[in-house]
Structure 1
Amino acid sequence: MTEHTKQSLHTARTSHFILVLAPILLAFSLSQFFRSAQALLAEPLRVELAITPEQLGLVSGSFHFAFALMQIPVGVMLDRYGPRVTNGFLMMATVVGVIIFASAHSVLGLMIGQAIIGLGCSAAFMAALVLAARWTSPEKFAAASGLIVSFSLLGVLASATPLAALVETHGWRTVYYGLAGLSTLAVMLDLLFVRDTPPGYQADDQKGETVFEALKGMVSVWKNRQVWLLSGVAFFSYPAILTVRGLWGGPYLHDVFGLSAVEVGNILLLMTIGMILGPPTYGQLSRKLPTKTHGLIVFAVLLGAATCLLQAFIGPWGTGIAAALMLLHGFLGSSATLSYAASRQAVPERQIGRALTTVNLATFAGLFVLQGLAGLIIGQFEDGAPDGYRWMFVFLGIGLGAAGISFWFGAKRKKS
């Protein structure tokens, strides 16, 4: 086979992979939108339904709680039934959840809608990573996963200024009814175009696993020390970013600086741009420095801690400073790509789905806990008081610092 023929086959396979991956990326982008939209919906919900900070934390956290609960079954389903069926089936629930959320007139209704949306979105990211693991070579997985995360963050991008403008002109309920239609489209495209493996791919057949064998495989993943270390980082790193970008960053900018919804959206847009640029940057660094992955993870987590602490003490000096720190946190703190790449390498191929979803479980458990605790911290102060947000950022900074230092020493001990 000539070099030209090999290159042609590689190009054809890449094009096929993009077509196969596109519906999953749409589902993942919607997932990113739904988990981030509360930062812009916070003010309309406070005005229309008189929601308190504690209740807002519960509404947003309902998505992450349901999402986290689904990660173990999703891992088994991905290894057993594949990304196409698993994601397509669960995304049907997303459509139902969005309609419930758009129709809700109470905190309980909002929580139920968010929980069902979280359940429905629970497989999208992991399905994309499993496809990448099967369609790309191991050394390219980190770069591919970084690009997947970056593309999906278009959903976060849409939940900034575009969402603010649409909510102002059409109302948040109308926007969500439209999103129900878009979620339906994602289900249809998944079932039509997604293929679990490339042509000629040889994989272990997981469909013959009994329930006991599936659970035994899950326990094997949980006993993996590397997976535990990565899960500890995952509990704090990305959740700290989304606690700001996905929920409390909007109220912080509105209450501390008196910004309008569109002005808030513009600053959150900056943070989202940082989140888009960070994952592929770390993915490329990991590919070029394969032995430095642990060091890159520690670097990202500790820098995230520093930006949170700086936001607490110098962020209120001006909107420009606050915006710059949010941009830095979104860019420098986005190390999730590295954690998923490392977990993919820590287990045999037949357990990839379960390893990835274990790390993802830690991520969304962290989101539920951090966003809820942040709401409790802010609720201890007068409504809109800057001190509430200051102590929230201190809390996030300390948590990130502890996670980064613990991972550093844990990884060093493993090498010794």
Structure 2
Amino acid sequence: MPIGMIDQIKTPKQETHGVGAFIWILAPVLLAFSLSQFFRSAQALLAESLRVELSTTPEQLGLISGSFHFAFALMQIPVGVMLDRYGPRLTNGVMMIVTVVGVMIFANAHSVVGLMAGQAVIGLGCSAAFMAALVLASRWVAPEKFAATSGLIVAFSLLGVLASATPLAALIEFRGWREAYYGLAGLSALSVVLTFVMVRDAPPNHSFHSRKGETVVEALRGMVSVWKNRQVWFLIGVAFFSYPAILTVRGLWGGPYLQDVFHLGAVDVGNVLLVMTIGMIIGPPAYGQLSRLMGGAAHRLIIFAVLAAAVLCFLQALVGQTALGVATVLLVAHGLLGSCATLNYAASRAAVPEHLIGRALTTVNLATFGGLFVLQSIAGVIIGRFEPGASEGYQVMFVFLGCGLAVAGGAFWWGTRRRAT
């Protein structure tokens, strides 16, 4: 099938069900996804506490944060098979039990290795939440509404990112980061209970209920079928840079950048990142609605989002130490215009048969979190090559992110255009 037809794939009609029933079923998974968003973003506010308490270097901070994303990415292929074979309820419920364990390890860690281990276990546990939500959406809503629905799912989950900004900064100042994580362990345990009580894998009469269980060989064949899909490979390239670039800033290095370059305190840093997060909340549902209004024109919106993010990163590298307002506007614009991840997932969901949706979504998600591990780690190495607190390190980091986004966006545009002709 031509790559240029990404936006024109026909999907079979399916029975839809009440919005209220879908929201009830989705709510526990959204809680788990919001917690996942919190854990992957909290390092931007924890960075200063860890530097003071444990004397962590920029390279170590990159490894601590990257451990979450590495473990998360490592689990994407197994999670895809589990979602298709066992369903979102069992998969997410079991994996969130692992999250509880990881949060407790992190909260009690007193070394960089302990923090990395805790983050890695949290990443393993959170690895199913988003994909479970998307698989539920693919079964409970009409195909033409999937992009808009997935955008709303991402927007709601970003409440977790909001909580990791000013609220987390205030809580750290009041009670300390360890006690904050004890509370998060309790919330994670609550999501486990709610998942098993409230979530249903598919509507009545859905083909999922009459499926024949796959053998290991059949599961692997399905995975190979997804990997051979050229549309999926083009989306992998974009996924590796687009959302990872945003979370490299918002999830880790945005906090040290604002502290070192503009000399802001923890709460002021939280306020700036909070505003950036608002842009990230508005972006996904806006792109989802635009895609629907444009007849599913996902690939044009993907190209715009990635190239716009590249330009914003280059501009961020030029911001001087006195231009906090300009820096804030650019961060917000990056969060708003660069949040095209839901379009990637909508395009990958449309590229494969229904029984392979979980594996297609997690393959693209694997690229996303593999990119997060790589970009955050490289950014740490870049910043660590300069004097502590030097603005030049962050400037080079933004140039690096901009170059990666420009290459990814250009390659996607060239590939889809070439296949369409």
TM-score grouping bracket, smaller chain normalisation: over 0.9
- Equivalence for 2:358: 353
Residue pair 2:98, 2:124 contacting (<8 A) in 1 also:
yes
Whole-Å separation in 2 of the counterparts to 1:204 and 1:392:
49
Displacement after TM superposition at 1:307 (Å): 0.7
Whole-Å separation in 1 of the counterparts to 2:285 and 2:189:
29
Residue pair 1:286, 1:292 contacting (<8 A) in 2 also:
yes
TM-score between the two structures when normalised by the length of structure 2: 0.95
Whole-Å separation in 2 of the counterparts to 1:383 and 1:130:
44
Give the alignment of 1:171-320 within 5 angstroms. Answer: 171-203=176-208, 205-206=210-211, 208-314=213-319, 316-320=321-325
- Equivalence for 2:38: 33
CA deviations on 1:141-183 (whole Å, 9 max, x unpaired) are 0000000000000000000000000000000000001100010
Displacement after TM superposition at 1:318 (Å): 1.1
Displacement after TM superposition at 1:269 (Å): 0.3
Letter in 1 for 2:327: A
Residue 42 (structure 2) pairs with residue 42 (structure 1): no
Letter in 2 for 1:360: N
Give the alignment of 1:99-138 within 5 angstroms. Answer: 99-138=104-143
Whole-Å separation in 2 of the counterparts to 1:316 and 1:328:
19
- Equivalence for 1:332: 337
Whole-Å separation in 2 of the counterparts to 1:343 and 1:204:
23
Q: Choose from 82, 85, 88 the match for 2:87.
A: 82
Whole-Å separation in 1 of the counterparts to 2:212 and 2:366:
23
- Equivalence for 2:4: none
Letter in 2 for 1:403: A
Displacement after TM superposition at 1:317 (Å): 4.1
Whole-Å separation in 2 of the counterparts to 1:211 and 1:413:
37
Q: Choose from 142, 154, 158 the match for 1:153.
A: 158
Residue pair 1:235, 1:362 contacting (<8 A) in 2 also:
yes
Identity of aligned residues (%): 72
- Equivalence for 1:20: 25
- Cα RMSD over matched residues? 1.1
CA deviations on 1:74-130 (whole Å, 9 max, x unpaired) are 000000000000000000000000000000000000000000000000000000000
Residue pair 1:81, 1:207 contacting (<8 A) in 2 also:
no
Give ranges in structure 2 of 5+ residues lacking alignment.
1-14
Displacement after TM superposition at 1:204 (Å): 7.4
TM-score between the two structures when normalised by the length of structure 1: 0.96
SS of 1:339's equivalent in the other structure is helix
Whole-Å separation in 1 of the counterparts to 2:61 and 2:87:
35
SS of 1:203's equivalent in the other structure is helix
Give ranges in structure 1 of 5+ residues lacking alignment.
1-8
Displacement after TM superposition at 1:205 (Å): 4.9
Q: Mean Cα displacement is larger for which, 188-197 or 307-316?
A: 307-316
- Equivalence for 1:3: none
